[in-house]
Structure 1
Amino acid sequence: MTEAPISPGYPASVVGGELRLPKPPGVVRQFWARHPWLTDSLITALYFVPTFFGSIATLFASTPPPPWVTVAQLLAIVVAAAAILLFRRREPWLLVAIAWLVCLVVYPFGSTDVFPLLLALYALAVYGSTRAAWIGFAGSVVVTTASSYISVWAHADDTVAPFGANAPASASQFTVLLLIATLIGVTVGNRRRYLNALIARAHDLARERDQQAQLATAVERSRIAREMHDIVSHSLTVMVTLADGSAATAGRDPERAAEAMQHVADTGRAALVDMRRMLGVLAEPDATSEHPEELAPQPGTAALPVLVDRFRAAGLPVQLTTVGPPIADSNLQLTVYRIVQEGLTNALRYAATAHRVDVTVEHADDMVRVDVIDDADVASTSELTSGGKGLVGMRERVALYGGTLEAGPGQQRGWRVRAELRADENSPPADAATLNSDDTEDHA
């Protein structure tokens, strides 16, 4: 298995599996990362304690500095320590400015100490940016060089002239220390920002994967709901109509009633086959099906004559006309079949007074046009205007092919459903043997 691009050394997760994140830091680094105040306090104490007591110890030296110098040093140490504790992470530029001020004003008159400045440059590189770190380094070189010359001038006597030879040496040493601190900070900061970017990207990928899964689930639920509605609504409508007709004719024409009930049984079996087929594709792919028809192909345009015959048996005067070459795309065939099925179901349910229902499937160029037109009274079909899952399902199916759906009263009378779908031009031509030649003729 190949390595995951965001996590070298780790195998790429399979589709739908866990999205691996970069390996987190070690236990020690995790501890310090969880306790930033403890980390800053220890760093502050590491600077403050020896420096503060070292400055006090100079008062007991053989030649102590003037009291104001010692007081200024102690005050500067306190200010620098407070800045390290408070601003090292949140405001590194402020810490740099305070370190510059202390380095220029106070330390030249005592012992020059650039430890706060080193911490400031490191913090600027880690919590700021690489560009800010190098700008801070350039400014710090200027400040420490000036501080070195000021220190030489402050301790000048008859043998050491102002801006003597000690200043360049001291400045060069400070430059090397500042460069080391900046390079370490830039390395750590870049690694930190890169790791954060990887983790953020991994979370974005995981979020996008979850959103895609939710969208796929919603689309699949909508598809299943459409199929369930088409199967159940169509079958039940036909069965109820046939059962009502059988009940009405049972007394005077038992044979016709028995024939109608046989159609009810046939319709119910066909509905069960459709249900098993749809539910079969939701089962585990390696599961052994007890019903081979569960995984049989979905109905297409070749099944339209059987569908029409079923509605004729229910008493609906349907005529089917197909024009043009056979449709090659099996998905488009299913869509056409479901549209015709829904249109005839609505006609059977709401257009009981219709004397003729025409179904036309026309395939021309890259368009497929489906018309279902009845001549019933408009008043009897007015309930269709309220819409429902059937019309919504048809609109969704048509929208998948970039087509349009029109449903409304006909020009003279009755109800008309017209759907136009864009056929896939890249679909291979259908085998003529797969479609019965009678499908292209009028069915009386």
Structure 2
Amino acid sequence: MTEAPISPGYPASVVGGELRLPKPPGVIRQFWARHPWLTDSLITALYFVPTFAGTIALLFGSDPPPAWIAVAQLVAIAVAAAAILLLRRREPWLLVAIAWLVCLVVYPFGSTDVFPLLLALYALAVYGSTRAAWIGFAGSVVVTTASSYIAVWAHAGGTVAPFGADAPASASQFTVLLLIATLIGVTVGNQRRYLNALISRAHDLARERDQQAQLATAVERSRIAREMHDIVSHSLTVMVTLADGSAATAARDPERAADAMQHVADTGRAALADMRRMLGVLAEPAAAAGHPEELAPQPGTAALPVLVERFRAAGLPVQLTTVGPPILDSNLQLTVYRIVQEALTNALRYAATAHRVDVTVEHADGVVRVDVIDDAAVASTSELTSGGKGLVGMRERVALYGGTLEAGPGPQRGWRVHAELRDEERSRPQSDAPATNPDDPEEDA
């Protein structure tokens, strides 16, 4: 992944490939942004070559300074040049310290040299922080003022003849130059930091977008797996039970066996229809346009009597009781249907000796209660305590509605599944909702 030309260290694209960072306007700015070492080398050369040449010229002039002063000047200039080249972007505070030293050593003894200090303050503001830049500016004012007074002292002692002997005037001029360099650096640095913050934020948002997409994909896969388990487990359990019964009665009661096999075929067709309906929402709209049945709604509480009849045909003595007003939320209806379906499937699988299986769906006060109780021997249902995918799926469905699920042995014998789900449609006040009669008679299927 390449770096953004305008902001080194930040990627030009992120996961998903949709983020495109802005580029600096103009070919020249893009060129300098891509070649920072060339930029630093030119700046170093712009300082070192004329300053070093001027110092050499002073040594061969009519009034050369003492040798120790010339050597100190040349060393300071070389150190400042190396610092500009190597430290301007990485260690601006170290560059500021070296520039202070150069200002104290070079300027008082015959050569005005504050250029490294101007570059150091600019680098501190751009690559450091605004607070650091102003601290560096205050320290630089103190250093340049001290350097001006040292120059006046050196002139009075006859050591050298500086460019000016007025220390306050020199210090004020240096202060203005330092202020200009600091203000330019603060402006450029704040713009750079703001742009970097925007780029970082965009990068975080893009990564969060991809994470949300992955989470949504995982949730959808879990939902599909749960639906597939409910459909396949229920259908196969009924079909296996009917097929076993048909095989056992084929010799002595062919008509009953044929009727059972017909139920097997009907159950298989219903399972295929449910799978097409569930997977139809995953198809492209154009592909599903020719098969509107694939986009039919999922089963709800109105389909519970049909579900109960299938289990009765498989030999499970089921009694269905509904209490209260109808459930309006289609998703909640599907959840209730799947809970009843899974509970009855487990009863058919593990409670084959049950003489009665009671299914009760009660809707009152914004809460839906589902009870599935059989009277089979406890030993036949003990395998359910392992908590297979069916119970896990029921708990996940119930958790979506802030409810609870209890599955375990009944008070006396058999197995009991009890679920409570909150009906948000009934929980919040509705001024235009039709009045309900809490004393509706029970309906036995």
427 and 407 in structure 1: CA distance in 2 versus 1, 3 angstrom threshold: farther
Contact 1:47 1:81 in 2 (8 A): yes
Q: Indicate the SS of the match to 2:285.
A: coil
Change (3 A) 1:291 1:251: farther
Aligned counterparts, 1:19-418, within 5 A? 19-25=18-24, 27-156=27-156, 166-418=166-418
Work out whether residues 108 and 147 of structure 2, in 8 Å CA contact, stay in contact via their aligned partners in 1: yes
Q: Could you tell me how far 1:305 is from its partner in structure 2? A: 0.5
For 2:291 and 2:268, the matched residues in 1 are separated by 16
Structure 2: distance between partners of 1:106 and 1:296 = 88
Instruction: Single out whichever of 85-94 and 235-244 deviates more from structure 2.
Output: 85-94
Aligned length: 422
Structure 1, 315-324 or 291-300: larger mean CA deviation: 291-300
Pairwise CA distance, 1:136: 1.3
- Give the aligned residue type for 2:293: E
Q: Matches of 1:439 and 1:291 in 2, distance apart?
A: 40
Paired with 1:33 and 1:354, the residues of 2 have a C-alpha distance of 80
Moved more, 242-251 or 34-43: 34-43
Shift of 1:176: 2.2
Q: How far apart, in 2, do the equivalents of 1:31 and 1:404 lie?
A: 65
| SS across alignment from 2:80 | helix
Residues 65-116 of structure 1 show CA distances to partners (whole Å, capped at 9, x for unaligned) of 1212111111111221222223222221121122112212332011121001
Call closer, same or farther: CA 1:440–1:305 in 2, change over 3 Å: farther
Q: Which amino acid aligns with 1:301?
A: T
Letter in 2 for 1:290: G
Q: Which amino acid aligns with 2:24?
A: P
Q: Is 336-345 or 249-258 further displaced after alignment?
A: 249-258
What's the Cα RMSD here?
Answer: 2.6
Whether the 8 Å CA contact 1:323–1:440 is kept in 2: the answer is yes
- Is the 8 Å Cα contact of residues 326 and 430 (structure 1) preserved in structure 2? no
> Secondary structure of 1:90's partner?
coil
Which amino acid letter does the alignment assign opposite residue 78 of structure 2?
V
Q: Which runs of 5+ in 2 are unaligned?
A: 1-14
1:256, distance to aligned residue in structure 2 (A): 1.4
1:380, 1:300 → 2: CA distance?
30
User: Aligned partners of 1:25, 1:442: CA distance in 2, in Å?
Assistant: 76
Conserved 8 A contact 1:340-1:372:
yes
Match of 1:6 in 2: none
CA–CA distance in 1 between the matches of 2:392 and 2:35? 57
- How far off its partner does 1:361 sit? 0.7
After the TM superposition, which of the residue ranges 396-405 and 335-344 deviates more from structure 2? 396-405
Assess, with a 3 A threshold, how the Cα gap between structure 1 residues 149 and 209 changes in structure 2: closer, same or farther: same
In structure 2, C-alpha distance between the alignment counterparts of 1:146 and 1:21, rounded to whole Å? 50
1:43 is displaced (CA, Å) by 2.0
Aligned mates of 1:431, 1:339 — CA distance in 2: 28
Alignment CA distance shift 1:251-1:231 (3 Å): same
How far has the Cα of 1:308 moved from its partner? 0.3
Moved more, 294-303 or 178-187: 178-187
Q: 2:233 & 2:146 partners in 1: Cα distance? A: 90
Q: Structure 1 regions of 5+ residues with no counterpart?
A: 1-15, 433-437
**Matched residue SS, 1:106:** helix
Q: Kindly indicate whether the alpha-carbon contact (under 8 Å) linking 1:121 and 1:137 is maintained by their aligned counterparts in 2.
A: yes
Helix, strand or coil at the partner of 1:405 = strand
Give the superposition deviation at 1:153.
Answer: 3.1
SS at match of 1:138: helix
Separation of aligned partners in 2, 1:362 and 1:334: 15
TM-score relative to the length of structure 2: 0.89
SS in 2 for 1:287: helix
Give the alignment's TM-score, normalised by structure 1: 0.89
2:444 match: 442
Change beyond 3 A, Cα 1:439–1:234: farther
SS in 2 for 1:155: helix
* 2:381–2:415 contact (8 Å) kept in structure 1: yes
Contact 1:73 1:110 (8 Å CA) reproduced: no
Deviation track 1:384-440 (CA, whole Å, cap 9, x = no partner) reads 1122111111111011111111111111111111111111124979999xxxxx995
